Amino acid sequence: MFDLDQIRELIRLMAENDIAEVSVRSGDDAIELKRIGSQAVVQTMAAPVASALVAAPPPATAAAPATPDESQVPIVSPMVGTFYTAPDPNSPPYVTIGSEVTEDTVVCIVEAMKVFNEIKAEVRGTIEKILVSNADGVDYGQPLFMVRKR
């Protein structure tokens, strides 16, 4: 029979590689993993025994968000697209952790339908966290940065 650590590893690999379904067989034992949204459903089968359906714990990346710091505000994506930290691959990023920004400071680019849109901070403060990696896809309203307001 498969142990819990093996199942967790399969779930982690599924999440990292955006795999929706995996089936593994070892002798008379078999396991099927299907991802539905951010949850993985585990179905184990032994030859003469009926299958069991178990909801696996969500991956560690889907943990509940920490309580927000009241002095921090997010800079959110105004559109769906691809997030870029710099105007081109050879340029330094617009901002880094610790950068001071004003309302008119360009903090990143979001590409949508081959149009590169400069995103401005729209707040005065210091960049405390960068929540998205370069070239990641972003959704409308998704937080990109956390800024400690001045």
Q: For strand 39-45 and strand 29-36, is the pairing parallel, antiparallel, or unpaired?
A: antiparallel
Beta-carbon contacts of residue 53 (< 8 Å; ≥ 6 apart): 41, 42, 43
- The predicted pLDDT at position 83 comes to 96
- The predicted pLDDT at position 72 comes to 93
Using one digit for the tens of pLDDT, what is the confidence trace for 113-146? Answer: 889 999 999 999 999 999 999 999 999 999 999 9
CA distance 98 to 17: 32
The rounded mean pLDDT for the chain is 80
Using one digit for the tens of pLDDT, what is the confidence trace for 47-81? Answer: 444 444 445 555 554 444 555 567 899 999 999 99
Q: Which CATH class is domain 72-149?
A: mainly beta
- How confident is the model over 5-21, as a mean pLDDT? 76
Q: Is the pLDDT at 19 greater than 70, yes or no? A: yes
H or E, element range at 75? strand 72-76
